[in-house]
Chain A
């Protein structure tokens, strides 16, 4: 079964970093671009960035440019999102999603990140 399985919930203090994982099952993650999208409580969807299929180049939203890093591991068939200098407003559900035919056709179940002192 083709799916994306994300890591579990995180609780972090302001100013620290969090690294989330997204493991592909049933397909090779590196064959497609992989995006990260987040959703703050009660809010809409916000695109954060992607890691390209093949070369693994990355592109980030300017909003997170200095704080975000997306990487991948071919051996783990996984992608990772690291967000640093966490703020209370980074509290959100973070989704990974596969990009096929100019759309996000497969989404992970989401990871809840809570930033709290």
Chain B
């Protein structure tokens, strides 16, 4: 199965400052159709996970434009341009290239 890793696992942030989370896979998530099968989710405290980014770099409906994502076949990054208090939560990357779908261990973002 595809193994996903994330760093850091914990990220204290200052409101208004940028933040960045890295996600890596042990094999390429780039499919022959040109899509990168990597998604980002956030799970806010006490809530279900919610989709942030799909296919590597596409913001889901309603996601603020302070969230951007990019990546190659195996290395991906989620960036928050200016963190807000409501961004607190655990961020997961997930590969949807092949089953079993696998998640990264999560990055817990909290306010300093």
Contact = CB atoms under 8 A, between A and B. Distances in A.
Does B bind A? yes
Contact of B100 (A47, A97, A101): A47
B103 interface: yes
Interface residues of B, number: 25
Contacts of A45: 41, 43, 49, 92, 94, 103, 106
Query: Interface of chain A, helix or strand or loop or mixed?
Result: strand
- On chain A, which size bracket covers the interface? 20 to 34
A86 B97 CA distance: 29
Interface in A58-80: 59, 61-63
A42 to B, nearest CB: 11
Interface stretch (A11-19, A24-32, A106-114): A106-114
Interface string B48-74: 111100110010100000000000000
A104 interface: yes
A95 B49 contact: yes
Contact of A61 (B58, B90, B99): B99
Contacts of B105: 44
B49 A105 contact: no
A110 to B, nearest CB: 6
B20 to A, nearest CB: 20
Contacts of B22: none
A10 interface: no
A23 interface: no
A105 B62 CA distance: 12
Interface of B: 35, 37, 39, 41, 43, 48-51, 54-55, 58, 60, 90, 92, 94, 96, 99-106
20 contacts: A37-B49, A44-B105, A44-B106, A45-B41, A45-B94, A45-B103, A47-B103, A59-B99, A63-B100, A99-B96, A101-B58, A102-B35, A102-B37, A103-B54, A103-B60, A104-B41, A104-B51, A105-B51, A105-B60, A107-B48
